[in-house]
């Protein structure tokens, strides 16, 4: 979409390429560089219309749907900077698996998966700069900015639909590694506690345990105990926002170290002196059967140097 088009009302007809896509993802791809917060705002205010009616951001677009896009204030558009050569080299080296449908990379901690809401360059924008053919590539799921590890990016609409269907049916096994504060003495524990998104003071998003929230289930396994920390393997049965972070802090009563939203402030300070300069949450493994061939895809993402060094020091 050109700058001139962004200053006019646009009516776009959904083609086969976009059929089945969520409205928010369609708008993010169409209005490249516009903050996600602004896109959600114009949908919430009814400025975006689907078939001349109001729509929610999660609505699935259908073939031949007519989408109204209002004029976009260019002042709110974020310029996408040119990718630094070092970041380009790091992301290129982080690709763990690739086929014609999708790729899986080891996302660095501290890098958002997409631009918007104060972030000018995310993983998906960076990949589109690295690969000339990647203009239509889309995120198949998301990781928090401070979480590292396996991230799936679909290369084509058919691949995106398959990955999304596998996730809806809980057929992708997602396993994380997390270092918890204190000594968690259980060998394993199943946590089944519904989660509700809330807004804290200052507009910061907080997720809480709430009986009215969405069903959320996590399996925790004790991998290794240290005097003042516990390395756990966490397997997601559902994939809710901040699920592992909230379940570990609120149910296990052992928060993830380096988590400044749900964690223990004093423990975070102590472990920062020990060398932990980020949240210790890592998407370690993705495992699933690909729908077309029944090929079992199993991808492991190695821990970054900071986390690996910390564990070695704790062992000593």
Q: Which of 24, 65, 144, 228 is catalytic?
A: 144
3-state class (DSSP) for residue 26: helix
Decide: 254 and 181 in contact? Cβ < 8 Å: yes
Handedness of CA 236, 237, 241, 246 (dihedral sign): negative
DSSP 209-224: E-TTSB--EEEEEEEE
Separation of alpha carbons 287 and 285, rounded Å:
7
Decide: 124 and 142 in contact? Cβ < 8 Å: no
Q: Does the active-site annotation cover 144? A: yes
Angle formed by the axes of helices 123-130 and 85-93, to 10°? 90
Per-residue exposure over 197-207, b if at least 16 CB sit within 10 Å of its own CB, e if not:
eeeeeeeeeeb
Main-chain phi, psi angles of 219, to 5 degrees = -105, 125
Structure tokens that stand for 204 in this block = 């910061």
List of residues 6+ apart from 163 with CB closer than 8 A: 102, 140, 141, 152, 154, 172
If DSSP states are collapsed to H, E and C, what string results for 235-281? EECCCCCCHHHHHHHHCCCCCECCCCCCCCHHHHHHHHHCCCCCCCE
List active site positions: 144
């Amino acid at each position: 979409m050109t700058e001139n088009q962004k200053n006019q009302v646009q009516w776009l007809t959904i083609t086969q390429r976009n059929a089945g896509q969520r409205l928010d993802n369609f708008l993010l791809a169409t209005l490249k560089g516009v903050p996600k917060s602004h896109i959600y705002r114009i949908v919430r205010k009814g400025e975006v219309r689907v078939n001349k009616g109001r729509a929610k951001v999660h609505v699935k677009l259908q073939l031949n749907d007519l989408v109204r896009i209002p004029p976009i204030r260019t002042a709110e558009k974020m310029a996408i900077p040119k990718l630094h050569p070092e970041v380009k080299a790091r992301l290129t080296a982080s690709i763990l698996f690739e086929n014609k449908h999708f790729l899986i990379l080891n996302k660095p901690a501290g890098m958002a998966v997409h631009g918007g809401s104060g972030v000018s360059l995310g993983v998906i924008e960076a990949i589109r700069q690295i690969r000339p053919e990647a203009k239509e590539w889309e995120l198949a799921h998301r990781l928090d900015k401070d979480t590292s590890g396996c991230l799936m990016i679909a290369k084509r609409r058919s691949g995106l639909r398959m990955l999304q269907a596998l996730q809806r049916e809980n057929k992708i096994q997602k396993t994380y590694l997390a270092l918890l504060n204190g000594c968690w003495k259980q060998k394993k524990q199943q946590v089944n506690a519904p989660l509700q998104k809330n807004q804290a003071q200052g507009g910061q998003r907080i997720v809480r345990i709430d009986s009215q929230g969405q069903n959320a289930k996590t399996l925790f396994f004790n991998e290794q105990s240290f005097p003042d920390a516990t390395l756990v393997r966490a397997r997601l049965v559902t994939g809710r926002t901040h699920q592992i972070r909230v379940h570990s802090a609120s149910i296990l009563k052992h928060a993830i170290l380096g988590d400044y939203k749900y964690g223990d402030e004093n423990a975070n300070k102590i472990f920062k002196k020990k060398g932990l300069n980020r949240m210790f949450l890592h998407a370690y493994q993705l495992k699933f059967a690909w729908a077309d061939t029944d090929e079992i895809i199993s991808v492991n993402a190695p821990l970054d140097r900071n986390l690996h060094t910390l564990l070695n020091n704790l062992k000593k």
